Amino acid sequence: MHSAQRDSQVAIPLNLVEAINRALRQAMEDDDSVVLLGEDIATNGGVFRATEGLKEHFGLRRVMDTPLAENLIAGMSVGMASQGLKPVAEIQFMGFIYAALEQLISHAARLRNRTRGRLSCPLVIRAPFGGGIHAPEHHSESTEALFAHVPGLRVVIPSSPARAYGLLRAAIACPDPVLFLEPKRLYRLQRLPVAIDDEPLPLDRCFTLRAGEDVSLISWGAMIHETLAAADQLAEDGIKADVIDVATLNPLDRDTLIATAGKTGRVVIVHEAPFTGGFGAEIAATLASDALMHLRAPIERVTGYDTPMPYFAMEQQYMPRVERIVAAAKRCMAY
């Protein structure tokens, strides 16, 4: 559909899951090769209703329910993508994605290289991830670092409705496979203005959400919510924080991260995943290598713990809290 036929650049209030739905709908209207598949996504609209109403609008040939078989979902997606379609597959929870690793790592991420550019693999795998909703075991994973280690596989994580809308549209248009991880704790947290029919947001870029010159707070996904709240508290004490949303973990926008470290000289990295081997370690290593002479204090990491995500009674004790982020920033300031 030509842009003149739409309400161009209209900002409407959406929560994050509604923004996902709008991005999928618009991508399917723009390109007949975009198809959706996943468990219960057609008739039921998905476990979080992210695909609600799309089967009725586009039909079962483009919005397909699959068996409960993640390996099959990923394998079908690779086959579709190699033959001219643009599949957007949903894995119900990130904790169920491990059965699909063979297809994603050994095939989707390698197809362009394997065929020396003859074939590409334009697919998107959507998966809700992270804790904070009192879910049972296997429903609260944050293993994004595992996938960021795979060459050829983009890892994208939105942190607001507007970034969910813009980044998902960009992911669907991307000629390479994208793992699009949706922080389900933010799905219905708040409605914020989203510019419908705006240009897709750029992949492979960090976003500066708040400017400051005293300390850099770097995060992604749901933890951006606590990170911004920590920046507000620090501002009350006269500490101005630069807040960076990483957004795309692979490939990583190292230039923006090096620039913020150079500006403030103090860095706090925040993520929900466990401490050891978390993606924050990659960022810290980058800054230690390329911004060492600008640092005024050791890099701080505020993360989950090296344990499985606990059941809901202890879940909030596991999640990084605002006071931990504030304390880490103040340690940097005092160093």
Q: Alpha carbon of 155 to those of 65, 90, 104, 184, 259: distances in Å?
A: 24, 15, 12, 16, 22
Is 139 one of the catalytic residues?
A: yes
Backbone dihedral region of 132: left (phi > 0), alpha (psi from -120 to 50 degrees) or beta?
left
Q: Whose CA is closest to 104, among 116, 121, 128, 119? A: 121
Q: Whose CA is closest to 328, among 262, 284, 258, 270? A: 270
CA-CA distance, 258 to 260, in Å (whole number)?
A: 6
User: In sequence order, what are the beta bridge partners of 300?
Assistant: 268
Report the SS3 class of residue 44.
coil
**Bond before 251 cis per omega within 30 degrees:** yes
Paired sense of beta strands 86-90 and 124-129, if any = parallel
Q: State the residue for tokens 């739905």.
A: 21
- Under 8 Å CB-to-CB from 236, ≥6 apart: which residues? none
Give the neighbor-by-neighbor strand order of the sheet with 241-245: 207-210, 241-245, 215-219, 267-274, 300-304
DSSP state, 35?
A: E
Which residue among 57, 134, 138, 139 is the active-site one? 139
Q: State the residue for tokens 């809290």.
A: 321
Question: Which of the residues are catalytic?
Answer: 139
